[in-house]
Amino acid sequence: MRSFTVLDGIGKSLDPRFDLTAIAAPFARALLFSSSSPYAPLFNDLKRRSANQNRAVLNLFKAPNALESVAATVRSLERGELKLRVRALEAERALERVQAWQRVVVSAVVASALVNVGTVLSVSAAAAGATASFVGAGFFGLMVLSGYLKIVKLEKKEAQLTGAV
């Protein structure tokens, strides 16, 4: 402190407008608030607290209007003037994919059952029934293929929406 006061005194004797504090203030501020400074956590805490205080003062004036708006909305809900509807789009997309998988699995089970029936009928010399069963199995096999392609498309769409691609 003594050296600063001596420098300030010498500077003022040479130029009365000389102000060492004005010159040193930016450097002192940078040193005080730098991340390597031991005072940086204190400064950050002070900054956080002042931001909280500013927000609290703003909320002091905004809160009554916000509460009145919430109360009016609740009254509208109670009177039935306003319908509350909540949608979970992710859940709806997941349900759509599950339903598509169920259709694929059911089609695959029916196709395999028809192949088994056709095989049994062809062994027992019922050619017409066997042919009908194999045609039905082919139809359900095509349904399995188209359902699987739909699932691939749904999963690709979901990956795009979630940003996984």
The pLDDT value given to residue 113: 95
CA–CA separation, 150 and 30 (whole Å): 61
**Residues 52, 99 within the same domain:** no
CA angle 52, 54, 56 (to 5 degrees): 70
The tens place of each residue's pLDDT in the chain, 165 residues long, gives 788 788 788 888 888 888 877 888 887 777 766 666 677 777 778 888 888 888 888 777 888 888 888 899 899 888 988 877 766 778 888 889 999 999 999 999 999 999 999 999 999 888 899 999 999 999 999 999 999 999 999 989 888 877 766
Say whether both 152 and 122 belong to one domain: yes
41/95 same-domain check: no
Torsion of CA 40, 43, 48, 54, to 10 degrees: -160
Residues 7, 74: one domain?
yes
Decide if 158 is inside a domain.
yes
**Tokens describing residue 97:** 């994919």
The confidence score (pLDDT) of residue 27 equals 77
pLDDT for the residue numbered 37 = 66
Q: What does the pLDDT read at residue 106? A: 96
The structure's pTM equals: 0.46
Residue 84 lies in a domain: no
Domain boundary among 28, 58, 78: 78
Show the domain range for 115: 89-162
Domain end point (choices 78, 112, 131): 78
pLDDT at 86: 67
For residue 83, tell me if it sits in a domain. Answer: no
| Same-domain check for residues 52 and 109 | no
What is the rounded distance in angstroms from the CA atom of residue 21 to the CA atom of residue 25?
6
Q: Is residue 8 a contact partner of residue 14, using CB atoms and an 8 Å limit? A: no
The total number of structural domains in the chain stands at 2
What pLDDT sits at residue 116? 94
Instruction: Tell me whether residue 116 is in a domain.
Output: yes
